[in-house]
A and B are shown apart, each in its own frame.
Chain A
């Protein structure tokens, strides 16, 4: 049983929560321009990370609020709990590398769509790096 620290209610049992899948999957900017494969990838294809994984959770029998959580899929170690719309905490370093397009969304956390598009684009591009990173990051 995981003990999850809800940002509103504090530490509670895992049974009080619902899992919301991978976080930072942005709705496509122009869904009509996607072909079937891209649309299917948006709908159904998710990372299967070994190591630190950003996911959404809902405290369904508590405050009924969504939040993001960074969890290690191997050790189940909860590394961070952060609000919806915020950038992934351990991805703050690679964001500036990808140029001006991603630094702007990072500075404005109000728009939910724009930052997460940048987050996923950097996440997919740095996916191989993140697969190896957790070992160094956790130690």
Chain B
């Protein structure tokens, strides 16, 4: 009974929340090669899965909350704190900092639900569904190319786009946040495998290059 006391209230839960790859934190730090490629697990995010027809009235109400809905594959819209990733013609992933969650004083999920109203569609709180890996550095693209069949060359995969694809045979949403930085959103249960897969793919850059 004494232990369950910590679970009362949402903020008690927040204190004991562990991210899906938290047990890899040391390994990710040790496996990162400064100046080449750096991998770490990002902070918790507030995520919401939105399914709505973007051309409908409900869709435009949702777009008003999120700062637009992407219209084609790869497009990312939103404000400086919210990004909306295209998952399908009527399916979107809203990603925002953790503090935007209603349980922590934010309003994101509630306002999305309110915006949808009775319109056909759904808003689902998916904050615990996926975790975030942040991969950056000059070799980040080379690491991803070992397990991703997409064309990741900057001429076709530009910063500010996100694609639903597979990395290391794991279905992920791959977002390019900068010239040399990526965010990967794997499902929580794949976090351990993908983290270790990426570490393995990064290993060679810790050794001197063989001419």
- Interface residues of chain A, those whose CB is within 8 Å of chain B, are 8-10, 12-13, 15-16, 61-65
Q: Give the docked Cα–Cα distance between A64 and B150 (Å).
A: 17
For the complex, count residues of B whose C-beta is within 8 A of A.
14
Smallest beta-carbon distance A8→chain B, Å: 6
21 contacts between A and B (CB under 8 A): A8-B73, A9-B73, A9-B163, A10-B73, A12-B150, A13-B149, A13-B166, A15-B149, A15-B166, A16-B166, A61-B165, A61-B171, A62-B73, A62-B88, A62-B164, A63-B87, A63-B88, A63-B164, A64-B88, A65-B88, A65-B89
Chain A residue at smallest Cβ distance from B169: A15
Contacts A8-B73, A9-B73, A13-B149; is A64 near B91 (CB within 8 Å)? yes
Contact of A16 among B73, B87, B165 (CB under 8 A): B165
Minimum CB–CB distance from A6 to chain B (whole Å) comes to 8
Complex interface: chain B residues within 8 A of A62 (CB): 73, 88, 164-165
Residues of chain B from 147 to 169 with CB closer than 8 A to chain A in the complex: 149-150, 163-166, 169
Chain A residues, CB < 8 A from B91: 63-64
Q: Which residues from B are CB-within-8-Å of A10?
A: 73
A61 touches B164 (CB 8 A): yes
Distance in Å: Cβ of A18 to nearest Cβ of chain B: 12
Residues in A with CB closer than 8 Å to B163 are 9
Q: Is the beta-carbon distance between A64 and B73 smaller than 8 angstroms?
A: no
Whether the pair A12, B165 counts as a contact (CB closer than 8 A) is yes
